[in-house]
Chains A and B, each alone.
Chain A
Amino acid sequence: MKEIRVDVLVIGAGAAGMAASIESASRGCHTVLLEREDCSGGVLNQCIHNGFGLHVFKEELTGPEYADRFRRQMDEKGVQVRTVQFVVSIDPSKKAVITMSQEGAVVFHPKRVIMTTGARERAFGSLMIPGTRPSGIFTAGVAQRFVNLQNRLPGKKIFLLGSGDIGLIMARRLALEGADVLGVAELMPFPGGLARNIAQCLNDFDIPLHLSTSVVEVHGKDRLEAITIARFDPKTRTAIDGSHKKIEVDTLILSVGLIPQNELIDSFVQIHPTTKGVVVDSMMRTSHPWIFAAGNNVAIYDLVDFVTLDGKTAGQNASRFEETFPSDTLPIVLGKSVGVSIPNKIVKQGDPFILYLRSKKVIEKGIVEIGPGLIRRTRIGIKPSEMIDIPFTQKDLERLRESNLDRVYIDIQEGS
């Protein structure tokens, strides 16, 4: 069995992993980036639509172009990319990462590990929808892979459940490829994806969006033949009697959420009980000092640019071996309007960072209050589908250090 010593081992070559490995390698660390697929880039490779890079490159790129920019930087900085290699297990006591590749088992002994394993899609099985179990039901990401990488159309008469961004983008993609996209159902009273994707993916193609609606039964023996949808009461979240409607379709595509992928470390690293993401501080450190994390395994982001920025932070901090790390952190406590924050803790003596928040509800005009009394920001048009980014500057950190707060409370108040 082969054993390899490295400075920094990055697991998962998506947007976060590529950014993290570039930062680590450019600080002179021997950096290895592991990827189970046969090329780096992660989901960017199949996201052929544009809209990536506005924050990082100040221009709008497609997913493959965005990935290519990082691939070039990885070559330049000397990141060693090892593809078709997956991690079997991680042993925190021996600080060993056991992997399998075509040359057999390889054990890495890294000084630091950065977890950039991303998320997986919530599958049909977890939705508990009654009916038969025919073929023709796909998650949006799988359908996207078929259409954009393998040249396969999943079906002709298609309905989508869930209005997440990948789902909306797939609705447009399938409509452009000539499929009959009959509609999108969303259980919540508001869409899950970005407003611009409702406009350019659904409205442009006259695809109806049914809010407060879900699929209550699937029909078909071998192949999906029809689905039954019903309107839901937003308060009780139960189907409204008499609102049931059967629609003939051959394909159902699900865009019903992503789940952070943390099976490799969840037995010894603190995981957030509700989001299932890794708990990180503002230096992207996990609860285990050997392990850093960034990307969708920390929390589900809506922009790849933000993933890149947090990946960079993880790479920068993971490559600081000689320094003693500041250990004093303050936990972030969320008020009832905030569902998610990245990070979960603030390093008092750390560097400035960007705080990302996800609101639980639509707020026309709201004030984000951090502290209390530390930062107040008015934001217009707050939506659960769009993360709020608030820079936490050096000045804010200084004020935090001067305050006697033992935790940082964050909430969004309606009004101005």
Chain B
Amino acid sequence: MEKQNMICVSCPLGCDLEVEIRGEEIEVKGYRCKRGETYARNEILDPRRMVTSNVRVSNGDCPLVSVKTIAPLPKGLMGELIEALKQIRLEPPVQIGQVIIRNFQNTGIDIVATRAVGLDSSDQKHEPEHELKKVSEG
């Protein structure tokens, strides 16, 4: 029998989990919701992590667009994903939810944009968002 202590990373509560492995059987204690039990099982059998990073954008109003995996990625593929993201150059506009990589390494997991990037319009970038209508002159 093997015992392992781990912290559930499913949400910011971070439950302290105690996992007992008896051959095929895995017993989990200390979780406050079902996700904790699932997390502990996966952590033994197939550890996965959500990955967030950035991809470069040429001529955008921001040089980067933030991206995420739509589901936790096998931990071993994290480094490979970061490398793949470094090779990409996007052109604006980029929309939130836009697929940047489809089905990464046949995992069925897409990488999507988490922010919008528009065209660089630096000449008028610092104009206030509101219209310049004067309400009253003081």
Contacts and interface: CB of A to CB of B under 8 A. Distances in A.
A405 to B, nearest CB: 31
B138 interface: yes
Nearest to B67: A48
A84 B16 contact: no
Given A2-B138, A62-B52, A64-B114, A102 B128 contact: yes
A82 B128 contact: yes
A140 to B, nearest CB: 16
Given A48-B114, A65-B96, A196 B9 contact: yes
Given A82-B128, A195-B14, A204-B49, A68 B96 contact: yes
Interface string B7-34: 1111111111000000000000000000
Interface residues of B, number: 41
Contact of B50 (A50, A107, A198): A50
A194 B12 contact: yes
B8 A196 contact: yes
| Interface residue SS majority, chain A | mixed
Nearest to B69: A50
Contacts of B137: 2-3
Interface stretch (A16-24, A148-156, A261-269, A368-376): A148-156
Contacts of B54: 48, 147-148, 151
Nearest to B113: A64
Contacts of A62: 52, 66, 68, 114
B99 interface: no
Contact of A151 (B11, B63, B68, B96): B63
Contacts, number: 113
Nearest to A303: B12
Interface string A144-182: 000111110000000000000000000000001100000
B135 interface: yes
Given A151-B63, A176-B53, A102 B129 contact: no
B44 interface: no
Interface in B79-138: 82, 96, 114-116, 125-130, 132, 134-138
Interface size class of A (residues with CB under 8 A): 35 or more
**B interface: dominant SS:** loop
Nearest to A49: B52
A217 interface: no
A81 B129 contact: yes
Point out which of B66, B126, B136, B138 has the most chain A C-beta atoms below 10 A from its C-beta. Answer: B66
Contacts of B82: 176-177
A296 B125 CA distance: 29
Contact of B138 (A1, A38, A49, A68): A1
B108 to A, nearest CB: 19
Given A3-B138, A107-B138, A148-B54, A50 B68 contact: yes
Nearest to B83: A178
A332 to B, nearest CB: 25
Contact of B66 (A64, A84, A302): A64
Given A62-B68, A103-B132, A200 B49 contact: yes
A165 to B, nearest CB: 9
A85 interface: yes
B128 A84 contact: yes
Contact of B7 (A151, A198, A302): A198
Contacts of A51: 11-12
A194 B138 contact: no
Closest 8 pairs (CB-CB, A-B): A195-B14, A64-B115, A48-B66, A196-B14, A3-B138, A199-B7, A196-B9, A62-B114
28 contacts: A1-B138, A3-B136, A3-B137, A5-B135, A48-B66, A49-B52, A54-B12, A61-B114, A62-B114, A64-B115, A65-B114, A65-B115, A83-B128, A101-B128, A102-B126, A147-B54, A148-B54, A148-B64, A149-B64, A151-B54, A194-B14, A195-B7, A196-B8, A196-B10, A196-B12, A199-B6, A302-B12, A386-B12
Interface of B: 6-16, 49-50, 52-54, 56, 62-64, 66, 68, 75, 78, 82, 96, 114-116, 125-130, 132, 134-138
Interface of A: 1-5, 38, 45, 48-51, 54, 60-62, 64-65, 68, 80-85, 101-103, 107, 147-151, 176-177, 194-200, 204, 302-303, 381, 386
